[in-house]
Amino acid sequence: MKKPTILLVDDEEAIIKSLSGSLEDEGYALLTAQNGNAAMEIIKTQPVDIVFLDIWLPSMDGLETLKAIKEYDPSLEVIMMTGHGTVNTAVQAVKLGAFDFLEKPFSLDTALEIIKKIQGKRQISMKTMRYYESIKPDRRKVLIGDSPDAIAIRDLVTSCAATGEHILIQGEPGAGKELVARLIHFSSSRKESPLLKFNCAAFNAEEIERELFGFNDPENTGIRKEGALLRAGQGTLFIKAIDLMPVPAQLRLAHGSKDSSSQSSMPRIIASSIKDPDVECSEGRLHRELLACFNAEMLRMPPLRNRSGDIAVLLKYFLKYFCEEYGQKEKAFEDEAFETLINYDWPGNVKELKNIIEKIVVSVPTKSITVNDLPQSLRTEMENGADQQYLRYDTLQEAENAWRKNYLLYHLRRNNRNTAATAKHLHLGEDTLRSYIKQYGITLISGRRREHNYQRTLKRSMVLSGRGLHSGIKTGLILSPLPPNSGIVFGNISDGSTIPAHLDFVESTEYATSLRKGNARASTIEHVLATLHAYRISNLLIKINNEVPIMDGSATDFCQLLEDAGIEEQDAEIDEITISERYTVGEVAADRKFMVVEPCDTLTIHYTLDYPSPVGRQEYTFVLENEQAFKEQIAPARTFGFLKDIEALEKKGLASGGRLNNFILIDDEKIINTELRFPDEFVRHKILDLMGDLYLLGHPIRGKITANMTGHTQNCALLHLLRENIQLN
C-alpha cells in the first residue's frame, strides 16, 4: 500500500525540520506550511492524506484551520500538536474532528503509531466494490425481512417476474428499488440474459438520448454506437430515476416500448422513480404515454420506517455480512445500541442502514458495539428528533407520529423501560401506553446481562482542564488507554509517579477521598471514579496535578469526556463482585449512620439523607441499568456544603478552589448561589460519591446498598468488610 502524504503545519521551523526529516527517513512524502492559510492552499491543490497541525499558529489559528480542513474534506485525518497549558483547546480540537492529539515534545515512535492507526483504518475503508455488485449470486436473490410488507413485496416479485410486462417501481431513496428490479429479473424467464442498468441522473438531457437509443459516429464513418436499449438484448433494462428523463426521450421510449413489448428480441423495462407518478404527470414532468406503458405493473416500495419489524433482522444480517466481507471476527450490538438502531426512523431507508453498519464494522475495533460507537449524527437526531422532521415527512401526521415515537422512547428509557412507571410519569393508563408502543413500532430491549463482562478502556487519549476544589490550583486530566489487566491508575503530570486506584492507598476520607503512595497523591477522586464505574472502564491512566478538577461540582463533564473518546471493549474478561449475603456497617437505626449491602441482580443504591433545613430529609433509589441512567439521574448532581463547613475547611487550607459555579453553598435558611438541578440533588450527589468509592475495589459490583447519612469513611469501611469476606485481591 502506498505510504500517505503528510502535511506538517507549524510556525516553529525547528519542529518542521525535526519531524519532517524523521518522517522522510521512514519513507513518507512530506509537505510543510507555517500557517493555516498556506496549509489550506496546499490541501486544495495537492493530494494530502494526513495533517499534523499545531494549535498555536499566527493569523488563522489551529482550531480555525481544523474547522476549514473538515469543511473542505471531512475524511482528511488531522493530528493536533499542543504545548503545555493547552488542554482546553485540545479538547475542543478533538470535538471538532481531530483524530488525536500529541503533547509536545513527543517521540517519533508515538507519531508513527498514530500514522499506522490511520493507515489501518483507511486500508479497510478503501474497498470500493459496491455491495450489490459484489454479493454472491445467491445473496442477490434474497429480500430480507418477515414483516407483512416484506412478504407482500416477495409475492409481487413472483407475480411480476411471471408476467413479462414493463414495471415502474416507486419509492423513497434507499428503499430497495434496485434490489427488487434484480429480484424480478433473476426470477424471470430472462434471467440468463443481461440485466443492464441505466441511471438517468448520470447524464444530461442530450446524453440520455444518445446513451439510451444509440447514435451514429459524428464523423459519418458509418459506425453506429449501440444504445442501452439495444445492448440489453433479450434481458432487462433497469432505468433508474426515470423522472429525470427529458419529456421527448420519454415519448420516444414509450413508442419503442409499445413496439418492443411484443417482440422477444427487445428487453423488458423496469423503471424506478422517487416521485409520485400521478403528480409528475399532472405537472407535465412525466409523459402520460410513458406512464401508460407501466399501468399493468406498478409497485410501490414502503419506507423502512413502515417495516419496523424488519429492522432488527436487517441489522443482524448486514453486521454479519460485513464482518465476513472485511475478514473480521463476528461482532455484536450491546442492548442500548441495538435498541437505538431499531427505533431510529432511517430516512435513507435500507441503503442508509447498510452504509452505517458497514462504517461501524470498519471503524469499531472491538467485538461489542456500544451506543457510543454509533454515528454522532444518528445519536443527535434520536435525542432531538422533533427538530429533524420538518423536511423528512410529507404530511403533518407523519411528523407528529415521528415526534410521538421519540417522545415515548425517551421517557421509557428514563424510566428504565418500565411501562408502569413511564405511564404514571406521563399521566397515561398503562394499557394506553402499550397500545402506543405497538402503534409506533417501538422495540424495547430488556437489558439482559451478557454471559461475559469484558474489560474496557478508551479508544483514544483525552484531556480536560479545571481547578482543584480543595487545593485551588489549576489542574487537569489526561486520560490514556491502557492494555487489559492494568486497572485504573492515577499518574502525576509533573514527575510521572503513579498510584493504583485501590483501597490500599486511601490516605484520607475527610470531605473527599484521597490516595497516597510515597510522594504521589491523588485527591478528590470520587467523581471521576464513579463515572468510570458507571461506564465500566477498567483500564485507564489518569494523569493529574495531584487533584482531580472539580469542574462544575458534578460528573457531567467526565461522562462527556468518555463518550467523546469512545469506549473500546478488550479481549479480556473482568469479574463482577456479586453480593451473595447481607453485610452491615454500623447500627441500623433511623438516627444512626449505617450501610447494608445484600444480594441484587443489578447495582442498586438506596440512600437516605436527613440534614437541617433547607435540605431536610431526602431519599433516592438508583438502579445502574446502564451508563445513560447514570448520566441522566446521578452525574449532574453537584457537590454541596454548609457555609459553616466551608469556613472550617478554609481554616485547614482546603476549599480554596470553591467557586460560585462549582459548589452548592447553603446557609441556615437557603441555598445561596444557584438553582437546584433536581429537588433531591443533595441525596443524588451522595450516591455519586458512593459509586466512586465503591470502584476502589477495582471491579463492578452487583448488589443492593442501603445507606443512611453515611460518607466516605463508611464507604471505605464497607469496602474493607467486603474484601475480607469475599477475599478479593
Give the β-pairing of 498-500 and 506-508. unpaired
pLDDT at 468: 60
Sign for the CA dihedral angle at 458, 462, 464, 470 comes to positive
pLDDT at 132: 31
Instruction: Report if pTM > 0.85.
Output: no
502 assigned to active site? no
CA distance 672 to 663: 10
Q: Which residues partner with 103 through β-bridges?
A: 82
Give the β-pairing of 298-300 and 167-170. parallel
Strand ranges for 274-370 from DSSP E: 298-300, 332-333, 368-369
pLDDT at 125: 43
pLDDT at 52: 93
Whether 5-125 shares its CATH topology with 133-302 is answered yes
pLDDT at 660: 47
Residue 169 DSSP one-character state: E
pLDDT at 393: 64
Q: For residue 712, how many other CB atoms are within 10 A of its CB?
A: 20
CA angle 559, 562, 566 (to 5 degrees): 140
**5-125 in CATH: which number?**
3.40.50.2300
Residue 372 DSSP one-character state: G
Nearest residue to 678 via CA among 640, 724, 708, 716 = 640
End-to-end CA distance of the chain: give it in Å, rounded.
47
pLDDT, mean of each 10-residue run, the chain (729 residues): 84 85 88 91 87 85 87 84 62 74 80 83 45 37 77 87 90 90 90 88 84 73 73 90 90 76 71 88 87 82 86 91 84 86 87 89 83 79 53 70 80 78 86 84 57 80 72 72 90 81 88 86 92 95 87 90 88 84 92 92 92 88 91 92 56 47 70 85 94 93 93 92 73
614 upstream amide cis, omega within 30 of 0:
yes
State the number of CA atoms in the 13 A half-sphere of 480 facing the CB: 16
Is residue 401 classed as helix, strand or coil in its secondary structure?
helix
Distance of CA 724 to the CA centre of its chain: 40
Is domain 133-302 given the CATH code 3.40.50.300 in the classification? yes
CA distance 355 to 584: 53
Say which CATH class 305-439 falls into.
mainly alpha
User: Tens of pLDDT along 116-157?
Assistant: 888 766 654 443 233 333 333 344 456 888 788 888 888 888
* All three cell numbers of 465: 482542564
- Contact between residue 475 and residue 467 where contact means Cβ atoms under 8 Å apart: yes
Q: Which residues partner with 642 through β-bridges?
A: 666
pLDDT at 314: 92
Q: Which residues partner with 520 through β-bridges?
A: 517
- Contact between residue 101 and residue 90 where contact means Cβ atoms under 8 Å apart: yes
Among 166, 287, 712, 720, the one annotated catalytic: 712
pLDDT at 593: 94
State the residue for C-alpha cell 464507604. Answer: 715
When computed from its CA atoms, the radius of gyration of the chain, rounded to whole angstroms, is 31
Give the β-pairing of 640-642 and 664-666. parallel
Give one word for 327, left, alpha or beta, with left for phi > 0 and alpha for psi -120 to 50. left
Listed by start position, the domains of the chain span 5-125, 133-302, 305-439, 577-726
Enumerate residues 6+ apart whose C-beta is below 8 A from 318. Answer: 353, 354, 357, 358
Nearest residue to 568 via CA among 341, 332, 373 = 373
Nearest residue to 697 via CA among 721, 667, 666, 663 = 721
- The CATH architecture assigned to 577-726 reads 2-Layer Sandwich (3.30)
pLDDT at 539: 94
**Residue 451 dihedral angles phi and psi, to the nearest 5°:** -65, -35
CA distance 296 to 268: 13
CA distance 216 to 200: 21
pLDDT at 440: 80
Q: Which residues partner with 216 through β-bridges?
A: 224
| Mean pLDDT over each residue of the chain, to the nearest integer | 82
